[in-house]
Amino acid sequence: MYEAFYGLREKPFRISPDPRFLFLAPQHQEVLSKCQYMIDGRIGPVYVFGPIGSGKTTIARRLHQQLSEDPRHQVAILIAPDLRTQNALLRTIAKEFGVKTERSFDETLRNLAAFLRERRDMNVVPVLLIDEAQMLRRPLLKLIHFLLNYETNTEKLLQVVLFGQNELASRIDAIPELKSRMFPSALAALDARDTEDLIAFRMTVAGANLNPFTPEATQAIFRTSLGLPRAICQLCDMALLAGLSRKNPVIDEAAIREAASSLRFEAKEAAHAR
């Protein structure tokens, strides 16, 4: 709706996971590099945790894209399924890797183990990515722990990366034998500079010749969004719409306040200020 008014080819702040609009702040790049290092070296599993909207799903999709383009990896990605039994999760994982499932838990496990050994002989790394992993109940996390036992003296046969909200870290803390085998990687909110860079980056990708957001508007976005990428994008999108309605080619602090009101973000900012 506002694209032509601001000289854009497309909307810059959609929250869909389009890899072209993925802005990698230093912390995001660090998490991606850590995951890639652990996977390529068959070193061990990783769990990535952070607040809602901090970019976990976006990183999971970028990691999946990178690994899928490399024939040395075979990748399965799941959004944490609402399953109650270990057998159901095992069957889901096996299907994602193209492994034959059986009625018996033990027989499916045997098939999966044979698959992992076969891939090891082929020098291919099977990688399991699970998003929204804070939803995994304790028995399901215990199955993940069990699968980590498939290893040689020097290498893991299955690489696992879990992505979840901060609750995921608490769930893993409650299982010491799992915690001791996993490598944590935390995501936090962006700082003011990263917020400014994210906005400029997305506007450039969308075709903008000029960034319409004033420094005061950018600071207001940072304060109101608490530095969370998803909230930043929502605010910017609504602010551009507000600017269009005012026929104002410049996005000022007033447009951010209007956007925040439409998104009911004021309460969030007030709570943060306290």
Q: What gap in Å lies between CA 3 and CA 165, rounded to an integer? A: 34
For the stretch 121-143, what's the b/e string if a residue is b when 16 or more beta carbons lie within 10 angstroms of its beta carbon?
eeeebbbbbbbbbbbbeeebbeb
Closest alpha carbon to 47 in 168, 228, 174, 177: 168
CATH code for position 68? 3.40.50.300
Q: What gap in Å lies between CA 92 and CA 102, rounded to an integer? A: 12
Of 133, 164, 186, which residue is a domain's last? 186
Q: What gap in Å lies between CA 72 and CA 67, rounded to an integer? A: 8
**62 and 116 in one domain?**
yes
pTM of the model: 0.87
**200 and 172 in one domain?**
no
Evaluate whether residue 124 is within a structural domain: yes
Q: What gap in Å lies between CA 90 and CA 112, rounded to an integer? A: 9
**220 and 152 in one domain?**
no
Structural domain count, the chain = 2
Pick out the chain residues at pLDDT < 50: 267, 269-274
Contacts of 26 (CB under 8 A, 6+ apart): 194
Evaluate whether residue 146 is within a structural domain: yes
Of 141, 170, 186, which residue is a domain's last? 186
Across-strand partners of 126?
74
pLDDT in tens, 25-84: 999 999 999 999 999 999 999 999 999 989 898 899 999 999 999 999 999 999 987 888
- Residue 6 has a pLDDT of 95
- Residue 272 has a pLDDT of 47
By percentage, how much of the chain surpasses pLDDT 70?
97
**78 and 165 in one domain?**
yes
Cα dihedral 30→34→35→38 (10° resolution): 170
**176 and 87 in one domain?**
yes
- Residue 212 has a pLDDT of 96
Evaluate whether residue 133 is within a structural domain: yes
Of 171, 186, 201, which residue is a domain's last? 186
- Residue 15 has a pLDDT of 86
CATH code for position 265? 1.10.8.60
**144 and 61 in one domain?**
yes
Evaluate whether residue 15 is within a structural domain: no
Evaluate whether residue 3 is within a structural domain: no
Range of the domain at 82: 26-186
Evaluate whether residue 5 is within a structural domain: no
Closest alpha carbon to 269 in 227, 225, 236: 225
